Amino acid sequence: MKFQEFLKKTKKFTLNILFPEKIKCIFCGADIDNFETRPYCDDCAKEDFFNVGNRCMFCDVKIKKHNIVCDFCGHNRKKFERAFCPLIYKDEAKNSLLRFKSDNARYLAYPFAKLIYKRIQEENIDIDIIIPVPMHEKSRRRRGYNQAELLAVELAKLMNCETKSNVVIKEKQTKDQKALNYRDRLKNLTNCFRLKDKEAIRNKNVLIIDDILTTGATMNEVAMTMQPYALHIYAAAVARDMVE
Ligand SMILES: [Zn+2]
Ligand SMILES: [Zn+2]
């Protein structure tokens, strides 16, 4: 065995003991060589759950070639200027997001934040503060963590900016949005968020972060509370989902 190969094997062995998840593809679990450069395997890199190609300039959803805005944004302007979502919520991307959200796979916050970071780097925008979409206190206690907060902390480190929880709080417990359309989602969310700390975002470029962006209704409601005070408001999520 060559020395280099030996080092590589030793590194992998040590990593496997200390951080068993750090040598595995975040999507399919296959062994990978360099988690830091790319946290997924060659096979997954070829999958179609990456949100690339022509996308709506506001909500980052895939649209037909040569179009600029999706039909939805054409009729409902959002309170945030743009959204950045590196993945599409399907197949293995969906599975790993579900593990992150409900299965305590908190270590995924870092690789997911990195995917968002890469996506934002492609654009020429400045962010001063990252605000996670808040959870109701009761739901947070039940789950033990807010996945949006974990993402915000990791992304803030990568972007070298600030993050703060409880700037916006969720005061009302809401129904699961899954079965609702956009109109009902908005109704469900009405007056459920409250801006608690306007000084934290006054005249700042704000990025709201969540795990999944579906209709954008949640992000929109959170953005609405900050709109009178913030300079620019953007949104980011690990994955873009569509309402059927
Ligand atoms: Zn894979
Ligand atoms: Zn759109």
| pLDDT values of the chain reduced to their tens digit, one per residue, 244 residues | 677 777 776 666 665 555 666 789 999 999 998 888 899 999 999 999 999 999 999 999 999 999 999 998 999 889 999 999 999 999 999 999 999 998 889 999 999 999 999 999 999 899 999 999 999 999 899 889 999 999 999 999 999 999 999 999 999 888 888 778 878 888 888 889 999 999 999 999 999 999 999 989 999 999 999 999 999 999 999 999 976 5
Which residues form the domain of 138? Answer: 52-240
- Structural domain tally of the chain? 2
Residue 163's nearest CA partner among 135, 200, 197, 134 is 200
Residues 190 and 94 in one domain: yes
Residues 35 and 114 in one domain: no
Distance 72 CA to ligand 2 centre (A): 6
> How is residue 86 written in tokens?
């590196």
pLDDT at 17: 55
Residues 18 and 64 in one domain: no
Distance 75 CA to ligand 2 centre (A): 9
Closest ligand to residue 73's CA: 2
> How is residue 182 written in tokens?
């956009």
pLDDT at 15: 55
Secondary structure string (H, E, C) spanning 220-233: HHHHHHHCCCCCEE
Residue 133's nearest CA partner among 174, 94, 184, 93 is 174
Closest ligand to residue 68's CA: 2
Kindly report the CATH number assigned to the domain that includes residue 199: 3.40.50
Local structure of 67: helix, strand or coil: coil
Distance 100 CA to ligand 2 centre (A): 26
Residues 67 and 128 in one domain: yes
Residues 76 and 189 in one domain: yes
CA distances from 24 to 17, 38, 61, 141, 195 (A): 13, 11, 29, 30, 40
Phi first, then psi, for residue 136 (nearest 5°) are -65, 145
Distance 78 CA to ligand 2 centre (A): 9
Residues 139 and 211 in one domain: yes
Phi first, then psi, for residue 27 (nearest 5°) are -100, -55
Residues 210 and 187 in one domain: yes
Distance 56 CA to ligand 1 centre (A): 28
pLDDT at 103: 84
pLDDT tens digit sequence for 193-226: 999 999 999 999 999 999 999 989 999 999 999 9
pLDDT at 82: 96
Distance 2 CA to ligand 1 centre (A): 28
Distance between CA atoms of residues 194 and 97, nearest Å? 27
pLDDT tens digit sequence for 112-144: 999 999 999 999 899 999 999 999 999 899 889
* CA atoms within 13 A of residue 119's CA, in its CB half-sphere: 26
Local structure of 150: helix, strand or coil: helix
Distance 54 CA to ligand 2 centre (A): 11
Residues 94 and 127 in one domain: yes
Distance between CA atoms of residues 27 and 209, nearest Å? 21
Residues 127 and 230 in one domain: yes
Residues 175 and 113 in one domain: yes
How large a percentage of the chain has pLDDT more than 90?
73
Residues 59 and 174 in one domain: yes
- DSSP string over 35-56: TTT-SS-HHHHTSS-B--SSB-
What is the 8-class DSSP label of residue 133? P
pLDDT at 16: 56
Place of tokens 């990195």: 114
Residues 131 and 189 in one domain: yes
pLDDT at 185: 83
